[in-house]
Amino acid sequence: SSLSDNQRYGGQADGQGEYSPGVQKPVKAALVALVRNEELYGLRKAMRELEDRWNHKYNYPYIFLNDKPFSEKFKQGVQDMTKARIEFGTLEPESWGYPAWIDQNKAREERETATYIKGRSESYRFMCRFQSGFIHRHPLLSDLEFYWRIEPDVHYYCDIDYDPFVYMKQNGLKYGWNIAPTEYEPTVRTLWNATETFMQKHPELIPSDNTLRWVRDGNGKYTKCHFWSNFEIVDLSFYRSKEYQLFFEHLDQAGGFFYERWGDAPVHSLAVAMFLSKKQVHYFDDIGYYHPAMSHCPAGSKERGKCVCDPQEGWAHGFQCAKLWRSI
Ligand code: GDP
Ligand code: MN
């Protein structure tokens, strides 16, 4: 009846007490975004939704990072959205820009001739390299066990009545995702080749229960399957591991962040495929989510009263790479 529905959805979440702001949480975790001052209002919208849907009960802190200092307007503007703590950081110089070995003329030529999305942007490439190799090593994240990556202008469609960080920790999960598209070929022309070279150099780092069959088809070709990393919940010990770090350094040496436009999504995903087993990776099917251009809306009846989206329009569940993941 509607009365029991009201009781079910109106009161406290079942079995998950509240965590007050400032009080020690069961998991050291935070909501983390790299973001620009100009994106204040897009970020406020995303925070408002995440607070209303989830974090007002859990009060996990936020960490915002920027290649430039945050303005006072930005700091106040985001703090107005939450009673949780917010930390603001700028980036270490070596984590943003060109490493010494990159041929900047070659990088410029690629930008001037690229026709793929964001192909002409230099800062976008700095961003992808930062999110691939440096975010998890930022000093403000040093005592975190998990992060949940957020972005401006995203939507959270559903109430989330449990703590995904606790869920991941209790179940030994390292990587959580909810949209898995196929990457644009022109942005990753040699990424698979560089990954194969890495695996030949370091076979000892690849466990036998890996998930490479998701990114490598029956003919040894790259499927270009990746998790869309604008939403990801990750045990940071995965990115801080020796094998992840070696993989990033190998890719960084190869130069594809600049000579192509390798994204942090395919980089993170190739690392998942090489280093993690299927049972260490979780599909957050119940977290309804939209990022400009794609969305995931849960289809299950238990989400019906908790989500505002139309499951018919949350098409990402049917993506080829999402289906392939579920089938491997
Ligand atoms: P897309 O999702 O691939 O289209 O890329 P976005 O433009 O959304 O960028 C991904 C994330 O990095 C977002 O949180 C942006 O706010 C952030 N970002 C992108 N470029 C920059 C930049 O130059 N400086 C800073 N501080 N943040 C950036
Ligand atoms: Mn984005």
pLDDT (tens digit per residue) in 119-140: 999 999 999 999 999 999 999 9
The answer to whether residue 80 scores a pLDDT higher than 80 is yes
For residues 16-26, average pLDDT: 81
Q: How far is the CA of 35 from the centre of ligand 2 (A)?
A: 10
What pLDDT sits at residue 24? 87
What pLDDT sits at residue 167? 98
Ligand nearest to the CA of 34: 1
Ligand nearest to the CA of 187: 1
pLDDT band for position 116 (cuts 50, 70, 90):
very high
The answer to whether residue 160 scores a pLDDT higher than 80 is yes
Q: Taking Cα atoms as reference points, which of 284, 319, 30 lies closest to residue 160? A: 284
The answer to whether residue 149 scores a pLDDT higher than 60 is yes
Structure tokens that stand for 257 in this block: 């962040």
Residue nearest to atom 28 of ligand 1 (CA): 35
Q: How far is the CA of 324 from the centre of ligand 1 (A)?
A: 28
Distance, CA of 81 to CA of 154 (rounded, Å) = 15
Structure tokens that stand for 44 in this block: 């406020």
What pLDDT sits at residue 303? 75
Q: How far is the CA of 153 from the centre of ligand 2 (A)?
A: 8
For residues 142-167, average pLDDT: 97
What pLDDT sits at residue 301? 74
For residues 182-186, average pLDDT: 97
Q: Which among 49, 183, 232, 260 is annotated as catalytic? A: 232
Q: How far is the CA of 151 from the centre of ligand 2 (A)?
A: 6
For residues 282-307, average pLDDT: 92
Angle, CA 258 vertex, CA 255 and CA 264 arms, to 5° = 90
Helix 264-275 / helix 242-254 crossing angle, nearest 10 deg: 140
Ligand nearest to the CA of 40: 1
Residue nearest to atom 1 of ligand 1 (CA): 230
The answer to whether residue 4 scores a pLDDT higher than 60 is no
Q: Which amino acid is at 19?
A: Y
Distance, CA of 164 to CA of 171 (rounded, Å) = 10
The answer to whether residue 9 scores a pLDDT higher than 60 is no
The answer to whether residue 161 scores a pLDDT higher than 60 is yes
Q: How far is the CA of 20 from the centre of ligand 2 (A)?
A: 30
Secondary structure element (H or E) that encloses residue 281, with its range: strand 281-283
pLDDT tens profile 247-282:
999 999 999 999 999 999 999 999 999 999 999 999
Distance, CA of 260 to CA of 287 (rounded, Å) = 32
For residues 106-112, average pLDDT: 98
| Ligand 1 nearest atom to the CA of residue 91, by list position | 26
Pocket test for ligand 1, best of 32, 36, 267 (most atoms within 8 A of CB): 36
**Segment among 20-29, 71-80, 120-129, 279-288 with least mean pLDDT:** 20-29
What pLDDT sits at residue 70? 98
Domains, the chain, in order of start with CATH, read 15-327 (3.90.550.10)
What is the rounded radius of gyration, in angstroms, for the C-alpha atoms of the chain? 20
The answer to whether residue 14 scores a pLDDT higher than 70 is no
What pLDDT sits at residue 8? 32
pLDDT band for position 315 (cuts 50, 70, 90):
confident
Q: Please, how many CA atoms are within 13 Å of residue 278, restricted to the half-sphere of its CB?
A: 10
Q: Which residues line ligand 1 (CB under 6 A)?
A: 33-36, 39, 66-67, 123, 127, 151-152, 230
For residues 211-231, average pLDDT: 98
pLDDT band for position 6 (cuts 50, 70, 90):
very low
What pLDDT sits at residue 17? 58
Helix, strand or coil for residue 143?
Answer: coil
Assess whether 232 carries a catalytic annotation.
Answer: yes
Ligand nearest to the CA of 36: 1
pTM listed for this prediction: 0.94
Residue nearest to atom 2 of ligand 1 (CA): 230
Q: Are 254 and 194 in contact (CB under 8 A)?
A: yes
The answer to whether residue 43 scores a pLDDT higher than 90 is yes
Q: How far is the CA of 186 from the centre of ligand 2 (A)?
A: 19
The answer to whether residue 10 scores a pLDDT higher than 60 is no
Distance, CA of 155 to CA of 128 (rounded, Å) = 22
Average pLDDT taken over every residue of the chain: 94
Secondary structure element (H or E) that encloses residue 242, with its range: helix 242-254
The answer to whether residue 11 scores a pLDDT higher than 50 is no
Centroid of chain to Cα 164: 14
Other Cβ atoms within 10 Å of 103 Cβ, number: 12
Distance, CA of 191 to CA of 221 (rounded, Å) = 12
